[in-house]
Structure 1
Amino acid sequence: MTRHYNFCAGPAALPTAVLERAQREMLDYQGRGLSVMEMSHRSDEFIAIAKQAEADLRELMAIPDNYRVLFLQGGASMQFAMLPMNLLGRGGSANFIQTGIWGKKALAEAKRLGFDCHVAGESESNGHTEVPPRSSLSVNDDAAYLHYTANETIGGLEFDYTPTCSRADGVEVPLVCDMSSSILSGPTSVADFGIIYAGAQKNIGPAGLTLVIVREDLLGNAVAKTPTLFDYQALAEAESMVNTPPTYAWYLSGLVFDWLKNDVGGLKAMDALNQRKADKLYRAIDESGFYSNPIARHNRSRMNVPFVLADSALDKAFLSEAEAAGLLNLKGHRSVGGMRASLYNAVPEAAVDALIAFMHDFEQRKG
């Protein structure tokens, strides 16, 4: 069997070591005589898996004790509805920094549900090529929270600062961050945020699991008649088990956390590797007259690198030849076109080297 290099934006590459361990434990988990997929989520065996996964995540991210960690379903997109439902029960407005498609979807969902919304900053005016300056952000006087997307997966636009905003009365507004495509790519100061959420299928594990890290003082603020499965307080009290959770995705995510701790050496080591991978690829793009990237250099995403060819008529050939060379899922999102290489944690540096070599060869032959 040959493992190719997978640059998919999600569901994304998983560490080979994690897949191999899961393969070994597939039919018989630690001598129990059954798969994790067949276990009761109430069993001692699965409770131990769940607790170890949370403990490892807390250690990796240095999550303070006054934060609850929820392992949920519905994808990050479900949080677009859950967030305003949980944070606006006492009134106020939802404030957004809109820097791309996912931030736009979060704003649209809150509006669709009838909540009062305000755009505190945007990058649409520059074609989503640069995030708004920190000094330009402005929240409503009744702002209940400020939402932003740390890294826009589709456009490849990443914040180079952590936003902070205070209302006119001096009250600091809780910061809510969609970290779906950047979580665990390096150290994060969790205490800077009220809520961090992320779909698993990029840097955490397989699709089907959503991680929510919520500060305890933000629990219990849900609007009336919020469904139980949408209520952070109920979910926290039940330790993410109001109903049957996505057990196998939770287990695999735990294996990824263990891999980050014990194989990679933690998030500082992962940060250095990710920076090196991204630097290599952007350097190859910038030094070429054949490829280009439109994002302001200080806001270039390390996880998702979009690029276009000088002649779009060559796109089809590029993708076909790349796949034949074992470089998979390089097609850009349908909304922006071009190419996109996602360099998540599980994408090895050798994959980036192979991609750069292919790009250089393709340019020499076609440019």
Structure 2
Amino acid sequence: MKPAKPQSTTMDEQTFVPPTMRALYFSPASTAVTDHTSMDEPRTDSHVKFDTDFQTPIPSGNDYLVKVQAAAFSHDELRLSNILNPSKSIPQIPLHSFCGTVISTPEKDHWNPDGPKFKVDDAVFGLIKHTRDGAAADYVIVSEDELAYKPKNISAAEAATIPMPALTAWEALFKYAGLDTADVKQGRQQLRVLITNARNNEIATQALQLLRSHKLFPHSRPWICATCDAEDQEDYLRKEYDVDATIYAPLPLPHDYDLGSIFRKNRWDPVDVVLDCAGQEMFEQAHSPKVIKEHGAVLTAVDSTPAEARDPLDDDEPRKDGVLSRFILVSPNGEALSRISELVEADEVRGRVESIKDLVDGTDVLSSGAAGAGGGRRGGMMVIRVN
């Protein structure tokens, strides 16, 4: 559906938007007993449905309406969103990493005197807050800080796979680990990083690409050690991402596995940052003083334990041993995503499409039990093709 007047900035003049749309959504679980519910009736869990007559969202005066081309998800995203975001009492549309076309813009934009940043018919990609409906539908409402221009050199499907994992990796390095982009570019920081489960996790893959970006690290090449759960992956990591060292770490870890002993045996100095994409025992072993420097950062993208055990808003201080131990709570960041888009167009960052399914087949993909079951041990992003 082409917009009627691309030069316009008021929704009613821009395009005709149908009142209903196709959408995948998770039905709410039966958690409450009502007058119509028998105490003997079993509790039903939330399950995914496909609807061809779902109400099209109506944007507020500060939001954009985007026609979705593709939306993507990883196993971990679904698993962690279920743990960290309580289910709503209304249907919830999943898949928060997406690519699409702007259909309508904010009617009023007090921040930009020349009108909204994104115009009708602009190709965009982005990450939507997980407390809002996602993009497994024909249309989605987004705010400006959730968007960036889609890179011109990749498909919509590949673009949809990038926002969530790339922003998670970006925030791990430049927010949680506290790297200063100016210091990094001028070579004032000699960075040492350990990335676990580096071959099979998309956040790890994006982190490897960022760390090997000449635009981000033009004068100081970070030292990277990567763990992998199959010995034949070591050559791949060295050739594809030029990692400096690899460690074989089968998952789940054997009971006698000792990451600290491996560092000591190889006479490696402790690292500044650990980006954990394996979780559980690997995340715990990464806190060894043989692995992480004093005042370093051990960050996990897959193990929700730190987030569940502590209030994330009050846990910004390092632990008593000087090590910051955190779960990465990724959030939309339009400015960072714009930087990532530039790296994509410079061929320094790419997405990874594991599979592509049409929206109508999405119930099979999301209901199969495979989505989320593998956790961080399975790689790639699965794409739902919408329009």
Superposition TM-score tier, normalisation by shorter sequence: 0.3 to 0.5
Report 1 or 2 for greater relative contact order, CA contacts < 8 Å, sequence distance ≥ 6.
Answer: 1
Structure with the largest fraction of strand: 2
Structure with the largest fraction of helix: 1
**What TM-score comes out, normalization by structure 2 length?**
0.31
